[in-house]
A and B are shown apart, each in its own frame.
Chain A
């Protein structure tokens, strides 16, 4: 029933899209066939044969994909900037220099200075902290909630399923930006509010994705076998069902980090994101927009930082999808 609202399953067909058709969901989910992911390791070491694991296969396919590797490098650069911002940034991102405000790019300030004379490059480097923090935390939270509720819904079914999926419907009714604005308004501007607001309005997709994935795997023969051997429900879910249903969720999570970065910068751009003086890409674009048409470096550089980060995650997600499931390649 719920699957008919075609929002359940993307990331598999088009990154950043949340819509898809039931037929595709079925295809995507069915294609991640039993036992191909996560579990099954071939114990061949003793015979002297090179050990070939499922994870090794996935890694090999991923690394052969040029775009995926490029995406990985882009993500790595952003992560390094976030981790080592104080070491990389040439200036203090908060230090004002009112004698040198809004100066174009120069050797001293590669990306120019903002209206308070702060170094733009340093603020962009520090801005990666907010982007990474919000992107990873929000999606981690959303994925966790989605996995727990999705497995309860998919595996236990009946009343649980009805209640959880109807609740998910309610959260689906809010376009993410609209919903996030409401939450940030209630909690006040800040990183925590943004993380919470994005997680609250993203978990439902993860939940549905996992649920439909579990529904198809629940009836698989090896699950049947585990059940007839007397395995407990908990063991079946955590050892057999979940590892085999997670692939679509992981791919979607990778895309979603990018989407969350976009959402975070957009919220800040609109004035309902992180606090105003925080070095943040959305804040910077919003401040730079005032000088639109004659000081364009002010909004251009932080905008490109957003694009760079998001594309990195989109490429990784594309590569991950192809590596986890070669059958979907090129679709």
Chain B
């Protein structure tokens, strides 16, 4: 187990290094003018000021040096300073981070509730009305892009039914988190229920389930204690990866629902050509994704010893 963890850790470091190199090159080769976004386009620019700004952001050094500098400070948890707001990126994104984490947690909770319930019902009562209904609706749900789902939910729950606020967070967390969380959860819940149904059907055919039934255990006990536990591992993996993606900011959902998180900050920064914030938000998204993936792998290896040995 220890060896496995170390190997995966090393792999993760490699991935992060590679990813950071790509990002750094990409963003600083950008045909944008970071100093210009500070100076304002129509103002006459003072060459001395520009020089000072370039020195301040290490923009006058060769790219490899800039990269090393970037790597050094990133490792120290410093994501640089916003060109536009002239505040540390960490400070700007930090305040948004809690919002993104809240939204991610709410979405995951809903997803688990809907996905696993639908999957178990479909598997246990195979070909019943509910199974067909769940299969049909999940097949159709995967065809809906997030922005369409978001707009439809806004239309239905906020404008027609007046149950929930349209967007923003002014009406308190508990009321405003429902719609964005539901939007994020719906597609993943559909996929999760398919996954759950598939593995559960397989497990229900296993010998130990027949044994449990033959012992005279109630159907309920067999399904909830024996079958559910053994078919949930792939679903846990899926949850973990979904969570990793969500932590990086649910870009579209945050934009539609005006949710003040990392994803929305990323889109705003793109418009403002504020490269350090874009870089910071993406670094953060990639980091969260990779670290959660590592944790999922480790938990998976812990749950299923065969994986460690391969």
Contact = CB atoms under 8 A, between A and B. Distances in A.
Interface in A149-167: 166-167
Contact of A17 (B26, B191, B201): B191
Contact of B278 (A169, A185, A188, A306): A185
A293 interface: yes
Contact of B248 (A178, A269, A306, A315): A178
A311 B140 contact: yes
B75 to A, nearest CB: 17
A23 B154 CA distance: 39
Which of A24, A169, A173, A292 has its CB near the most chain B CB atoms (within 10 A)?
Answer: A173
Given A6-B241, A175-B285, A293 B159 contact: yes
Contacts of B29: 186
A258 interface: yes
A54 interface: no
B256 to A, nearest CB: 8
A220 interface: no
Interface centre among A5, A13, A22, A258 (most CB of B within 10 A): A5
A169 B285 contact: no
A16 interface: yes
A285 interface: yes
A181 B147 CA distance: 16
B147 A269 contact: yes
Interface residues of B, number: 62
A196 interface: no
A169 B147 contact: no
B252 A266 contact: yes
B301 interface: yes
Interface in A249-275: 258, 262, 265-266, 269-272
Contact of B270 (A22, A169, A175, A272): A272
A14 B191 contact: yes
A303 interface: yes
A56 to B, nearest CB: 27
B148 A13 contact: no
B146 A266 contact: yes
B117 interface: no
Contact of B143 (A5, A314, A331): A314
Given A173-B290, A174-B286, A19 B238 contact: yes
Interface in A12-64: 13-17, 19-24
Given A178-B248, A178-B286, A182-B23, A13 B195 contact: yes
A169 B23 CA distance: 15
B65 to A, nearest CB: 21
A170 B25 CA distance: 14
B237 A21 contact: yes
A186 B286 contact: no
Contacts of A203: none
B68 interface: no
Nearest to A299: B151
Contacts of B198: 13, 24, 331
Contact of B26 (A3, A172, A183, A262): A183
Interface in B14-47: 14-16, 18-19, 22-23, 26-27, 29-31
Interface string A62-73: 000001000000
Contacts of B300: 4, 6
A24 B234 contact: yes
Nearest to B286: A173
A50 B87 CA distance: 76
B154 A13 contact: no
A92 interface: no
17 contacts: A1-B310, A15-B142, A24-B234, A169-B18, A170-B19, A174-B289, A175-B286, A177-B252, A181-B251, A182-B23, A182-B27, A183-B26, A269-B147, A307-B144, A307-B145, A318-B139, A331-B201
Q: Which 8 A-B pairs have the closest CB atoms?
A: A170-B18, A311-B143, A21-B234, A14-B194, A310-B143, A16-B142, A303-B148, A17-B191
Given A19-B241, A310-B144, 19 more contacts: A6-B300, A7-B241, A17-B142, A17-B194, A166-B15, A173-B19, A175-B245, A175-B285, A178-B282, A178-B285, A182-B282, A185-B26, A271-B267, A272-B270, A292-B151, A293-B166, A310-B143, A311-B140, A311-B143
Interface of A: 1, 3-7, 13-17, 19-24, 67, 166-167, 169-170, 172-175, 177-178, 181-183, 185-186, 188, 258, 262, 265-266, 269-272, 285, 289, 292-293, 296, 299, 303, 306-307, 310-311, 314-315, 318, 331
